[in-house]
Structure formats: structure tokens, C-alpha cells
């Protein structure tokens, strides 16, 4: 049998096995689920080995003779001591270094990419000479200020303050609704892709 036909039938079977969960939980679905998790774990393990460990550790040691890279190599191996109860405490050294370094790298990057970028995006001119762009900028400024007022709990939300806070709730609802809608549409796109595969590639329905 042609490998293309075989791979198509295997993919169709696994797709139907996953979709069988819509009826009820069953052994076929569990098999496909476990297979998916196992293959994904194996794929990412091989991917990180070839794209992270080999170029960043093994090549530095073997090809470039940069012996200081033995230290991160040892720390990486110490993480696996969590599988050995007697020396599990050694993994804490590696985890402490990894978490501390990660926090030190992530916090400045996150502040710059999210907080500073978001602040810069709200500092926009009210009037730009273009009606459409000006309306968008006004909505941005009003939305940011009203949402900030909503999270101001030092005073009771009554009167004008309550009205602005209520407007902030509307902006939050629109924002959360748009995010949820985007997530749903992404999942529906995946579902449509699988149905197109079943109807066109597997059943050859045109």
C-alpha cells in the first residue's frame, strides 16, 4: 500500500477517534489521546535536544572547548535527580538557579513588552486630522480611563464615578468577549480543517 494512502487512513482513524468523545468517553478516544500526548512529548524532547542541547551545550564543549559550559550541563543533569528519592534534594539547586535566572530575564522583558508598550499605546493624540483615527484614539483613551476608574476601590462607585466605572465594565465585557470570540473562532478553524481533511483527502468528496 502506498505510504500516502496509509498515512491518510491513520490520520482519519485518529481524527474520528478524537471526535468520538462527542458521543461519550470511550477506550478508542483514550487510545488516541494517550498516543497524541506521547508523540507530542517525544517530538518536543527530540526537538529541544537537537535545537537546544546540541548547539548550546554539546557543540560548545566538543567543538569549541568552552569548558565553563560543563556547569550548566551538570545543573541540567541534576534536575533528573528528582527521579531518585535519596538524592532528590540535589534537584533543588538546579531548579533554584533556573527559576532565579528565569525571573531575572522574564520580568524586565515582560515589563518592557507589556507594561511599557501598553502605556505607550494609550498615549495617543485625541485629534490626528483624520476622523476615523481620531475616533479610535478617543475610544482608547476613554476605555483606559474608565477601566482604571472601575478598579479604583477607595471610593464607592456612586454618581459620576459610578457612571464612569459602569462604562469601564462595558469596555471590559467587550474586550473579554472579543478574546473569547477569537479563541472560539480559532478552535472552529481547526475543526473545519479536520472536516476538510476527512471529506476531501480521505473520502475524496468534491
Q: What is the model's pLDDT at position 187?
A: 94
Choose between 206 and 108: higher pLDDT: 108
**CA angle, 73 then 111 then 145, to 5°:** 160
% residues pLDDT > 70 (the chain): 100
Instruction: Name the percent of the chain in helix, strand, coil, to the closest 5.
Output: 85, 0, 15
Comparing CA positions, the residue from 109, 142, 137 lying closest to residue 125 is 137
> What's the average model confidence in pLDDT over 110-118?
86
Q: For 116-170, how does the pLDDT look when each residue is reduced to its tens digit (9 = 90+)?
A: 888 888 888 888 889 999 999 999 999 999 999 999 988 898 999 999 999 999 9
Amino acid at each position: 500500500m502506498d505510504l500516502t494512502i496509509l498515512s491518510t487512513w491513520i490520520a482519519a482513524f485518529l481524527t474520528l477517534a478524537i471526535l468520538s468523545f462527542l458521543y461519550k468517553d470511550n477506550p478508542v478516544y483514550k487510545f488516541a489521546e494517550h498516543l497524541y500526548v506521547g508523540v507530542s512529548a517525544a517530538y518536543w524532547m527530540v526537538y529541544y535536544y537537537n535545537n537546544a542541547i546540541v548547539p548550546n551545550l554539546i557543540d560548545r564543549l566538543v567543538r569549541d572547548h568552552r569548558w565553563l559550559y560543563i556547569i550548566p550541563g551538570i545543573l541540567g543533569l541534576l534536575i533528573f535527580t528528582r527521579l531518585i528519592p535519596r538524592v532528590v534534594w540535589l534537584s533543588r539547586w538546579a531548579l533554584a538557579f533556573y527559576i532565579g535566572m528565569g525571573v531575572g530575564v522574564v520580568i524586565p522583558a515582560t515589563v518592557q513588552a507589556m507594561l511599557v508598550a501598553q502605556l505607550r499605546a494609550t498615549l495617543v493624540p485625541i485629534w490626528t486630522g483624520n476622523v476615523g483615527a481620531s475616533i479610535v484614539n478617543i475610544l482608547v483613551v476613554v476605555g483606559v480611563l474608565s477601566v482604571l476608574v472601575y478598579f479604583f476601590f477607595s471610593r464607592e462607585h456612586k454618581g459620576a464615578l459610578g457612571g464612569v466605572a459602569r462604562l469601564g465594565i462595558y469596555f471590559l465585557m467587550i474586550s473579554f468577549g472579543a478574546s473569547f470570540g477569537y479563541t472560539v473562532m480559532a478552535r472552529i478553524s481547526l475543526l473545519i480543517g479536520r472536516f476538510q481533511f476527512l471529506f476531501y483527502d480521505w473520502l475524496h468528496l468534491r
